[in-house]
């Protein structure tokens, strides 16, 4: 996308609990995940107007992401990240999103394991 927005909204360290994993013990109870989002959007208009209607409502994005994640059950972090990206891109004004999902304690001797994906409305990731 040649004219991709250079402006970004960051939502960092969003914590949720969900079923994610392939092992039977991972499927029994919800586990912690930590989500970072970078929403690419053109923020010139809201920067000038100071009007919420002109920007991405990041509280609404957060609430929809949390609702989806906490009700989800996926085998792979990759699928969870993809669904989060889809929720974000459904919001008007979000042209591109970077999603990082970490699963603390997933591996012994590692603080966390995570995936990061980038998706855009145009499909030019």
Beta pairing class for 8-20 and 31-40: antiparallel
103 is catalytic: yes
Out of 30, 59, 96, 103, the active site residue is: 103
d(CA 13, CA 3): 29
Among left, alpha and beta (phi > 0; psi -120 to 50; other), residue 101 is beta
Neighbours of 120 (CB within 10 A): 17
Q: Which residues are part of the catalytic machinery?
A: 103
């Amino acid at each position: 996308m040649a004219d991709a927005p250079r402006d970004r909204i960051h939502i960092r360290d969003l914590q949720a609990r969900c079923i994610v994993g392939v092992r039977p013990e991972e499927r029994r109870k919800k586990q912690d995940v930590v989500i970072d989002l970078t929403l690419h959007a053109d923020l010139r208009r809201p920067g000038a107007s100071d009007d919420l209607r002109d920007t991405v409502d990041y509280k609404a994005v957060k609430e929809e992401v949390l609702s989806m994640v906490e009700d989800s059950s996926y085998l792979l972090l990759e699928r969870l990240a993809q669904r989060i990206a889809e929720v974000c891109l459904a919001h008007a004004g979000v042209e591109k999103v970077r999603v990082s999902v970490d699963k603390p304690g997933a591996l012994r001797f590692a603080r966390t394991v995570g995936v990061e994906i980038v998706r855009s409305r145009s499909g030019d990731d």
